[in-house]
């Protein structure tokens, strides 16, 4: 049983666990920091809870304000279709008459904490929440003035989340929500987000925009051709999916004087020791920009998923969106995206798009269309030699055509020609399969005399 489960069992009064030895603050302790003064300096105000006071800072971004090159009102989510395509596991409690879940009160959440390791010792000293109000983006930040007032802050945040229909975070599944849930349970406050749908934008962002500038093919044993780093996490490429990177890449946002993330915990500890809140102002602004960018990136991804390949900016985005559609079971949309990506001038993007198109046709039993794609691959790769990824793709195309000609067209001579070429290009783990195919084709040919060839030669002599 993990820590959250054990704490939840204690709160609910079952599980046979002993009582906590830690006594949460019940409001009897008073902070040494003057909240009124801090509120005046940071543009906030103290709010009262049953467990004491905490500091709240509100900021409003009007609908016509620009965030980079995107307007604030363009960042609002209006329906759930795009979100459900991006995350097929997302479930909503209510649906409208058309069967599409209606989108109610959506809250964007981002935390600033005393550390990134997680666990019971990590405290969220700044809880940033954003939501749309009449086209404007309203940000409410809950600031911890001292450790003694943590319970008051958690109670205020829990009250703010009451009635939420959707929570949107960036890496919230593994960090933000577990941190909040742990602190709520630690202070015997019922977590308010149980059962509320949660959309974590980090994972769709990785699928859509990781390595958009360079796609690599893999050469590991397994499937014959795996031209996709977008499916496989690469720690060295995760920097491309930081929120600060995406806001610059998608919306041309440039932050001026932004505080580095590593400095943020130290600024909070300095505030607690000295009572001077001025070093926290850049932290508050950093958190606010993160929330606005989270809303902008989420709206961009949802709109992209809803509108399809015509909304894609380039072949890389079309290819990634096609894979998102495949994952969601929207195969017609995936095919349109792959066709768009196949027209790209980028070699790796075009190669993977053609490969996925051929696989899609084969799975749909559209064998002649798949064979036409494999022939296009051979003709194209003949003109663009030299890259190992294309040699792999060329070998896969030749083997696929050999299978098609042998079993469906009954053209054994053409099948043998393709199989021989595939054998020349095969790596060690695929060569035995191709030799087995060649031996079978030769046995079939031995039973016939002068078989006709229905497939033109696609390989140099």
User: How far is residue 429 from each of residues 218, 219, 419, measured CA to CA in Å?
Assistant: 15, 11, 15
Residues, the chain, total?
461
The pLDDT tens digits of the residues spanning 358-396 come to: 999 999 999 999 999 999 998 888 877 656 668 888 888
15 phi-psi bin (left φ>0, alpha ψ -120 to 50, beta other): left
Q: Where are the alpha helices (DSSP H) in 242-280?
A: 243-251, 264-274
Provide CB contacts within 8 A for 404, sequence distance 6+.
Answer: 367, 370, 371, 374
The pLDDT tens digits of the residues spanning 118-134 come to: 556 789 999 999 999 99
DSSP sequence for 326-378: HHHT-HHHHHHHHHHHHT-S-HHHHHHHHHHHHHHHHHTT-HHHHHHHHHHHH
Identify whether the C-beta of residue 397 lies closer than 8 Å to the C-beta of residue 366.
no
Rg (CA), the chain: 28
**Stretch 102-130: mean pLDDT:** 86
Give 25's pLDDT tier (boundaries 50, 70, 90).
very low
> Is residue 429 scored above 70 in pLDDT?
no
> Is residue 178 scored above 50 in pLDDT?
yes
Provide CB contacts within 8 A for 433, sequence distance 6+.
Answer: none
pLDDT of residue 6: 72
Phi/psi for 431 (5° steps) reads: -65, -40
The fraction of the chain above a pLDDT of 70, given in percent, is 80
Lowest mean pLDDT among 108-117, 131-140, 213-222, 372-381: 213-222
Strands (E), 50-154: 52-61, 66-67, 70-71, 106-113, 124-133, 136-143
- 388 CB-contact burial (10 Å; exposed 0-12 / middle 13-18 / buried 19+): exposed
Domains, the chain, with CATH or none: 24-305 (3.30.420.10), 309-364 (no CATH), 373-461 (no CATH)
Identify whether the C-beta of residue 44 lies closer than 8 Å to the C-beta of residue 58.
yes
pLDDT of residue 241: 83
> Is residue 254 scored above 80 in pLDDT?
yes
pLDDT of residue 444: 86
pTM reported for the whole predicted model: 0.82
> Is residue 236 scored above 50 in pLDDT?
no
SS3 state at 293: helix
Q: Which long-range contacts (CB under 8 A, 24 or more apart) does 207-210 make?
A: 207/86, 207/320, 207/323, 207/324, 207/327, 208/301, 208/304, 208/317, 208/320, 208/321, 208/324, 209/240, 209/241, 209/246, 209/249, 209/250, 209/317, 209/320, 210/234, 210/237, 210/238, 210/240, 210/241, 210/320
For residue 59, list its beta bridge partners.
139
Phi/psi for 67 (5° steps) reads: -120, 95
Q: d(Cα 133, Cα 85) in Å, to the nearest integer?
A: 25
> Is residue 279 scored above 50 in pLDDT?
yes
pLDDT of residue 223: 43
> Is residue 15 scored above 60 in pLDDT?
no
Angle, helices 243-251 vs 281-307, to 10°: value is 60
Identify whether the C-beta of residue 372 lies closer than 8 Å to the C-beta of residue 400.
no
């Amino acid at each position: 049983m993990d820590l959250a489960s054990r704490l939840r069992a204690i709160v609910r009064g079952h599980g046979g666990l002993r009582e906590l030895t830690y006594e949460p603050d019940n409001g009897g302790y008073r902070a040494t920091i003057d909240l009124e003064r801090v509120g005046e300096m940071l543009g906030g105000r103290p709010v009262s809870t049953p467990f004491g006071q905490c500091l709240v800072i509100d900021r409003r971004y009007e609908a016509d304000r620009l965030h980079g090159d995107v307007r604030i009102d363009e960042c609002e989510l209006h329906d759930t279709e795009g979100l459900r395509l991006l995350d097929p596991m997302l479930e909503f409690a209510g649906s409208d008459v058309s069967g599409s879940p209606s989108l109610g009160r959506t809250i964007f959440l981002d935390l600033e904490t005393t550390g990134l390791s997680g666990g019971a010792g990590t405290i969220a000293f700044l809880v940033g929440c954003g939501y749309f109000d009449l086209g404007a983006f309203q940000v409410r930040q809950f600031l911890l003035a001292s450790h003694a007032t943590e319970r008051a802050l958690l109670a205020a945040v829990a009250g703010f989340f009451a009635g939420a229909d959707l929570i949107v975070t960036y890496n919230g599944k593994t960090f933000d929500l577990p941190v909040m849930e742990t602190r709520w349970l630690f202070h015997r406050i019922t977590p308010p987000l149980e059962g509320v749908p949660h959309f974590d934008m980090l994972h769709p962002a990785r699928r859509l925009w990781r390595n958009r500038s360079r796609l690599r093919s893999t050469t590991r044993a397994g499937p014959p051709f795996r031209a996709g780093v977008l499916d496989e996490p690469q720690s060295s490429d995760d920097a491309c999916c930081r929120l600060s990177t995406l806001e610059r890449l998608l919306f041309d946002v440039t932050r001026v004087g932004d505080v580095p993330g590593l400095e943020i915990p130290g600024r909070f500890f300095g505030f607690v020791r000295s009572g001077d809140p001025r070093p926290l102002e850049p932290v508050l602004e950093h958190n606010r920009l993160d929330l606005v960018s989270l809303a902008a990136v989420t709206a961009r991804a949802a709109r992209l998923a809803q509108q399809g390949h015509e909304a894609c900016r380039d072949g890389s985005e079309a290819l990634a969106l096609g894979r998102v559609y495949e994952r969601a079971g929207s195969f017609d949309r995936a095919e349109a995206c792959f066709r768009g990506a196949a027209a790209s001038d980028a070699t790796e993007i075009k190669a993977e798009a053609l490969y996925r198109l051929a696989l899609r046709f084969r799975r749909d039993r559209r064998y002649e269309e798949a064979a036409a794609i494999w022939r296009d691959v051979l003709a194209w790769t003949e003109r663009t030699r030299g890259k190992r990824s294309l040699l792999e793709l060329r070998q896969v195309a030749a083997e696929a055509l050999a299978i098609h000609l042998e079993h469906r067209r009954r053209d054994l001579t053409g099948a043998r020609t393709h199989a021989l070429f595939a054998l020349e290009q095969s790596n060690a783990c695929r060569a035995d399969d191709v030799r087995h195919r060649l031996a079978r084709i030769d046995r079939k040919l031995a039973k016939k005399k002068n078989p006709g060839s229905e497939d033109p030669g696609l390989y140099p002599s």
